[in-house]
Amino acid sequence: MGYMGAYGFAEVAEREHALKWHLLYNHVPSVPGDMLEPARQAIDAMLADEPDTIIETPYPHKRYGQEVPASEVVEALHLWAFIDQAIDQDMA
């Protein structure tokens, strides 16, 4: 599934529902549900062109601990499809 699955689902479903699906089914092992809010915040920060915004996470990142830049949350959770889809939707 990966990127294309997440992009397609984000295109047809509400972002929160698509994001929950992505974290649960597009990762092995699944990403815990308490990462949903940090994922949302990271997407919003990236869309606002603020990749250095610090996101508090319930689990420590190997390099940053629990205060992680939005860009790193996006990388760790593979959230680029949600950002690209939002940008594409705004351009349409």
pTM over 0.75: yes
Q: What percentage of the chain reaches a pLDDT higher than 70?
A: 98
Q: Find out whether 59 and 66 touch, Cβ atoms under 8 Å.
A: yes
Q: What is the pLDDT of residues 10-47, one digit of tens each?
A: 888 888 999 999 999 999 999 999 999 999 999 999 99
Residues paired with residue 65 on neighbouring β-strands, in sequence order = 61
Total of domains in the chain: 1
Q: Is the dihedral of CA 81, 83, 84, 90 positive or negative?
A: positive
Domain that holds residue 69: 2-91
Please give the helix or strand (H or E) that residue 83 lies within, else none: helix 80-91
